[in-house]
Amino acid sequence: MDSDLESESLEQLYLAAVEKGDVPAVEYAMKHQHLINVNVKDSSGRNAMQIALAHGHIEILKILLLYKVQVSDALLRAVDLQFHKAVEILCEHSKRLLILLSYGARIDDPESDNYVDITAKHTLQHSLGTLQVYKALCSEAYITLTSVDPIDRAFELSDKLRAIGQRDTEFNDEYGNLEDQCQSFAADLLAQTRNSTETNTVLTYNPEQWKDAEKIDADTPHKAYMAVKYRQKKLWPMHTANSS
């Protein structure tokens, strides 16, 4: 319990440093990520990236990107705030990922046959390595840029992460956080729809079926079936809000 309280206190100090634009303190936090969750959110639901943007701290933004803190909707927020320098930096950051992807770079799923790990299975090193790979696979940017249907992919990942967390109990909390992240991402994507027509289009989109225009069924709620199959709890409030 004491260690949990200590981590929570350090995370509060970390977010406070981001808000103040305290570069040395944020750099220190980045170098000691084993002590805190650098993607922690404040009482308003903002992560460090969003707080840095809200307060115009460009140097803090650069540090967070350098240490791969969750980008989330930072680019959209920067545009909304008309924070031009931040938009440039975030676009440049995304471009580097696009360059790698254009050359065929992909992250293999640790559960797939293609995944190669030099460490022995059932060791702490292997488990830690697997967790880090899934953190990368769950990146909103990576899902968006590598998936035909990002919502379906987020569904699938969240379900897989739930199962892995139940299996690798020592990292159950970490996998639970990633599962929650994927579910929130899928719900956030649906929340971007502006009216019931767009919401219905997204909910009925089936990438396999829609390859053939003659087979499109605009009345079958594919996403609803997928959400039930993969036990998505966060999708329905967004659907309800946008269907009115």
Burial 33-57 (b: 16+ CB within 10 A, else e): eeebbbbbbbeeebbbbbbbbeeeb
CA 156 to chain centre: 14
Residue 15: count other Cβ atoms within 10 Å of its Cβ. Answer: 22
For residue 72, what are its two tokens?
């989330």
Q: Domains in the chain, please, with CATH?
A: 2-102 (1.25.40.20), 124-242 (no CATH)
Which pLDDT score is estimated for 179?
94
Helix, strand, coil abundance in the chain, percent, nearest 5: 65, 0, 35
Calculate ∠ Cα 22-25-30, nearest 5°: 120
Return d(Cα 183, Cα 130) in angstroms, integer.
20
Residue 3: count other Cβ atoms within 10 Å of its Cβ. Answer: 8
pTM above 0.85, yes or no: no
> Within 13 A of 101's CA, how many CA atoms are on the CB side?
12
Return d(Cα 197, Cα 199) in angstroms, integer.
5
Print pLDDT tens along the chain (244 aa): 455 545 568 888 889 999 999 999 999 988 888 888 888 888 888 889 889 999 999 999 999 988 888 777 777 678 677 788 888 888 777 776 766 566 566 778 887 776 767 666 778 888 888 888 898 888 887 888 788 888 999 999 999 999 999 998 889 999 999 999 999 998 888 887 778 887 777 778 776 655 454 554 556 677 888 888 888 887 654 444 444 4
